[in-house]
């Protein structure tokens, strides 16, 4: 009976981890693990990043330039490989933490009895990653703003519109964000919503971070970043039309 309860608890914890890990869009891999003397020693950091990618994660090195969609650091997981002391046995395990240093996932311990450090670390890391693979990771998009949260932010922005008066006190300008579109992450890219909130455009990722396939009503074109400004470009009556858009990602 005790064994059954223990197995159920282990299953519950594993399920909880899988659900939590799926809430994050990518994994950041450090350039150096604390138990090693130098960056990427024994190529463990390279191997770690490769294994995360193989397990279905978007993975980046720390300090690596990343696409704008990953700018929210709290939508990311932060990986680490740690070494546990053991007599004549190399023991490694993997942790994934959120932006507040909370442990979201801890792998099982990988072991190796090989005397060569390169071989031992590689074998132990490979074994530890088996429990990462068992998560069957798939990003579900919930780490990003929901429509409700975006709506609240729109209301807050509209409530805090400012009136700026020039030095002569003759002219007042009201800053209004009514034309601002908010980007929400979707499995294939983003959707843009207005202050209603209503979905006005759908974006699909391309190989370029600053270019998207864009669909608005019955129009299909491209959303392109030019000089820090987004433009929706499409053909209408055989003429190229370019619309400037104000978007908050």
How many alpha carbons lie under 13 Å from residue 236 in its C-beta half-sphere?
10
Strand 219-226 versus strand 211-216 pairing type:
antiparallel
**Separation between Cα atoms, residue 67 and residue 76, nearest integer Å:** 13
Residue 229 parent element (H or E): strand 229-236
Whether residue 122 is predicted with pLDDT greater than 80 in this model: the reply is yes
Give the model's pLDDT for residue 119.
93
For 237, the token pair is 């009556």
Q: How many CB atoms lie within 10 A of CB 14?
A: 14
pLDDT grade for 65, boundaries at 50, 70 and 90 = confident
DSSP label at residue 213: E
Taking residues 58-82, what's their average pLDDT?
91
Q: Under a CB-based contact definition with an 8 Å cutoff, are residues 217 and 199 in contact?
A: no
32, 101, 148, 218: CA torsion to nearest 10: 10
Q: Under a CB-based contact definition with an 8 Å cutoff, are residues 32 and 39 in contact?
A: yes
**Is pTM, for the whole model, over 0.95?**
no
Give the model's pLDDT for residue 172.
33
If one looks up domain 2-133 in CATH, what number appears?
3.40.50
Q: Is the dihedral of CA 202, 76, 146, 160 positive or negative?
A: negative
Give the model's pLDDT for residue 29.
96
Give the model's pLDDT for residue 2.
53
Every domain of the chain and the residues it spans = 2-133, 147-248
The top-scoring range by mean pLDDT among 36-50, 166-180, 195-209 is: 36-50
Q: Verify cis geometry, omega within 30 degrees of 0, for the bond prior to 197.
A: yes
């Amino acid at each position: 009976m005790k064994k059954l309860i223990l197995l159920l608890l282990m299953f519950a914890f594993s399920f909880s981890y899988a659900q939590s890990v799926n809430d994050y869009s990518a994994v950041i891999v450090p350039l150096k693990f604390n138990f090693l003397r130098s960056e990427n020693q024994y190529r463990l950091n390279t191997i770690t990043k490769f294994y995360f990618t193989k397990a279905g994660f978007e993975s980046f090195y720390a300090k690596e330039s990343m696409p704008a969609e990953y700018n929210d650091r709290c939508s990311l997981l932060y990986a680490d490989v740690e070494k546990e002391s053991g007599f004549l046995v190399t023991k490694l395990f993997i942790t994934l933490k959120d932006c507040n240093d909370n442990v979201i996932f801890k792998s099982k311990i990988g072991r190796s009895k090989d005397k060569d450090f390169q071989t031992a670390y590689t074998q132990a890391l490979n074994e530890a990653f088996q429990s990462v693979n068992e998560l069957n990771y798939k990003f579900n998009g919930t780490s990003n703003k929901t429509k409700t949260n975006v709506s609240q932010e729109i209301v807050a922005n509209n409530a805090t519109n400012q009136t700026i008066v020039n030095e002569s006190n003759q002219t007042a300008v009201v800053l209004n964000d009514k034309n601002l579109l908010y980007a929400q992450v979707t499995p294939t890219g983003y959707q843009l919503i207005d202050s209603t909130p209503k979905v006005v455009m759908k974006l699909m990722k391309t190989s370029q971070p600053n270019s998207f396939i864009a669909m608005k009503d019955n129009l299909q074109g491209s959303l392109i970043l030019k000089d820090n400004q987004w433009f929706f470009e499409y053909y209408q009556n055989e003429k190229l039309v370019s619309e400037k858009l104000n978007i908050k990602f």
